Structure 1
């Protein structure tokens, strides 16, 4: 069985194809999945480039989707032929967060899905959305579920709410689609006019180029008539947080998700206090949240935006495309 592995020292040139033993038949409570697709996340890029250290020989990629070939004794939720998609936290099934690290996250603490076949507990997967192919299904594991939790689970999004999204990467574009599905109004930022035009085509009502308008938080606040937005999906981190706080309404909700601008920095605490906003950090979500999201996608009919697809053997090139920042939505890996 072919697998992509990350040799030491980590780096994109250290991603190589390797033959690995077939995992065999599933045991009790397990399923055997023939994988066909994945998608890239900022977390995966961090692992592949060595910014987030992992063990030598690690199989990367947190997202994985494919078809069940066999089920072990006691598995009743799935059957052979079902399309399934992986869970970012395979041990967090339901309830409040209990995991604050990546020691059991595929592609980081344990082997991921850049390989042909896996045998894992059935609870490490959920059903894939109806009619999604493997790449489309894989986009929900990390980016899709992060957006869902930020807006729906933690943010209690409702029709008529206003949402601010930063950039046009995987989480933000998923959040745009989910927010529009639920009847919310969306503002979004980017440095690319072309990407802002594409976002408007997906339903974004207000767009702002943050290179041309450095006080983009004020621009978004003006769009709301001076009130501020109900929700911010904050993927930038310390370099953008001040503007996000400027943009949010009194009593609003900021989901702190990303660290694209750094791991630490100053927070305008006086402004945050004045806004009386809820600033909440989060990392993806539970299996139950993913099951709920899949049901919503089945009912809503939206499909993820996949910027480009690469074969598994060109995984390093796919990461280079991600690092360039030129993509819109998700980058798929297909085999």
Structure 2
């Protein structure tokens, strides 16, 4: 190992599950060894997702293998490569792939058990070792913190809009709220030439959504039937082609009211609970597809990187960016819902 690479590092470890964040511990750890097909990445940026908040609390519904280094989102610079690595060299800037085993095509059970920060050590550390196929080229137009946000929220949005039936120019996309996935979906949809309807409950966030390109913004607190309102905003009142569904129990009824025949409701989040009032038979009566999305593949991430550069898309990162030693503060900041867009972490 190069003399410029230290023998130890700082990292955040999820030791187990508890009621709050007491199992998230900042500690010293050795630099992981580089295998023949691996790359060692000096991580420079990370960001948080809702899953990061609920993993230490034991509320995450997907596979876990604890203890595990926290975080899935990472961007940094390759500093060493294994003897059989051909794709990368020292100095290359890369972004982590969420499910390390999801290379292309549909996700399967095996790939679902390779999530960074859940089953495999993640990115809230100074150095990480990843298989050479577990990272992709970082977009030239982004800094490290911006690029890190692509791993989970960005790729999830891309998969929702392009994974099953690609969004097309002239179609309408409904995005809920101002979380990372929804804001990425807004930007990707606008880049595709689609009309975007966004929802929020705050006037100041409505203005920010309009600045990002939202064509219509509905205050869901003032308009409890916002799904029907969204439908009326579409050509001939036929409904929206894509819904980015992040609320779950609290929003599915309105998503169904808004969706067009043969449209797609992509279920991404469960912020409002996991027990919708609507029967799955609504998919038949509405003649729509209700699809669960579990991030995306390496090939989709590579496609998204190209589009990010082509359209000069910059992820929305909250104005408060934390340092690695402040990661628990970042968790608490996000739990308190003080953020707009992604919560970024700069790693030195």
Q: Would you say same fold, with TM above 0.5?
A: yes
In structure 2, relative to structure 1, the CA distance for the partners of 1:100 and 1:78 (3 Å cut) is closer
Deviates more, 1:325-334 or 1:49-58: 49-58
Shift of 1:7: 3.5
- How far off its partner does 1:299 sit? 1.3
Structure 2 residue 146 is the aligned partner of structure 1 residue 123 = no
Q: What is the distance in 2 between the residues matched to 1:263 and 1:180? A: 30
Does the CA-based 8 Å contact 2:17-2:57 persist in structure 1? Answer: no
Work out whether 1:12 is the aligned partner of 2:24: no
**What count of residue pairs does the alignment treat as equivalent?**
334
The equivalent of 1:72 in structure 2 is 82
1:330 matched to which residue of 2? 342
Separation in 1, partners of 2:51, 2:164: 22
| TM-score where L is the length of structure 1 | 0.95
Question: Is the 2:252–2:276 Cα contact (8 Å) retained in structure 1?
Answer: no
Corresponding residue number in structure 2 for 1:148:
158
Match of 2:255 in 1: 244
- Aligned counterpart, 1:3: 11
CA shift, 1:187, in A, is: 0.2
Q: Per the alignment, in what secondary structure is the counterpart of residue 154 of structure 1?
A: coil
Report the alpha carbon displacement of residue 101 of structure 1 after superposing the two structures with TM: 7.8
What residue in structure 1 maps to residue 245 of structure 2?
234
Query: Which one of 154, 161, 171 corresponds to residue 161 of structure 1?
Result: 171
Identify the residue that residue 6 of structure 2 maps to in structure 1: none
Contact kept in structure 2, 1:242 and 1:268, CA below 8 Å: no
Matched, 1:186 2:196: yes
Out of 137, 145, 151, the position equivalent to 2:147 is 137
Deviation of 1:36 (Å)? 1.1
TM-score when normalising by structure 2 = 0.91
2:331 is aligned with 1:319: yes
Matched residues in 2 for 1:14 and 1:37: separation?
23
Worse-superposed segment, 292-301 or 167-176: 292-301
User: What is the CA distance between 1:100 and its match in structure 2?
Assistant: 7.6
1:22 matched to 2:34: no
The answer (yes or no) to whether the contact 1:85–1:125 under 8 Å persists in 2 is yes
What's the CA shift string for 1:205-241, capped at 9, x where partnerless? 1111111110000110111142111111111112211
- String of CA shifts for 1:237-289, please: whole Å, max 9, x gaps: 12211100100112211111111111223324565323201111110001111
Q: 2:102–2:111: 8 Å Cα contact kept in structure 1?
A: no
Q: Give the superposition deviation at 1:146.
A: 0.4
**Pairing 1:261–2:272 present:** yes
* 1:32-43 matches, cutoff 5 A: 32-43=40-51
Q: Evaluate the alpha carbon distance shift between residue 80 and residue 253 of structure 1 in structure 2; reply closer, same or farther with a 3 A threshold.
A: same
1:286 maps to what in 2?
Answer: 297
Gaps of 5+ in 1: none
Preserved CA contact (<8 Å) 1:7 1:57? yes
Structure 1 CA distance, aligned partners of 2:230 and 2:110?
A: 32
What is the rounded CA distance, in whole Å, between the counterparts of 2:336 and 2:54 in structure 1? 14
SS at structure 2 position matched to 1:48: coil
| Contact 1:15/1:315 (<8 A) preserved | no
Question: What is the CA deviation profile of residues 288-323 of structure 1, one whole-angstrom value per residue up to 9, with x for unaligned ones?
Answer: 110111111121111101013111111111111111
CA RMSD of aligned residues (A): 1.7
Instruction: Identify if the C-alpha distance between structure 1 residues 214 and 100 changes in structure 2 by more than 3 Å, giving closer, same or farther.
Output: farther
Rounded to whole Å, the distance in 1 between the matches of 2:162 and 2:27 is 41
Equivalent pair of 1:13/1:316 in contact (CA under 8 Å): no
How far, CA to CA, are the matches of 2:298 and 2:314 in structure 1?
20
Residue aligned with 2:266, SS: strand
Partner residue of 1:49 out of 46, 57, 72: 57
Residue 91 (structure 1) aligns with:
101
- Determine helix, strand or coil for the equivalent of 1:325: coil
Hey, what's the Cα distance between the residues in 2 that align with 1:272 and 1:14?
Answer: 40
Instruction: Please give the alpha-carbon distance, in whole angstroms, between the structure 1 residues aligned to 2:131 and 2:79.
Output: 14
Query: Aligned equivalents of 2:27 and 2:277: distance in 1?
Result: 44
SS at match of 2:333: helix
1:67-124 C-alpha deviation (Å, 9 max, x unpaired): 0001112222211111111111101111222138853211111221111111221111
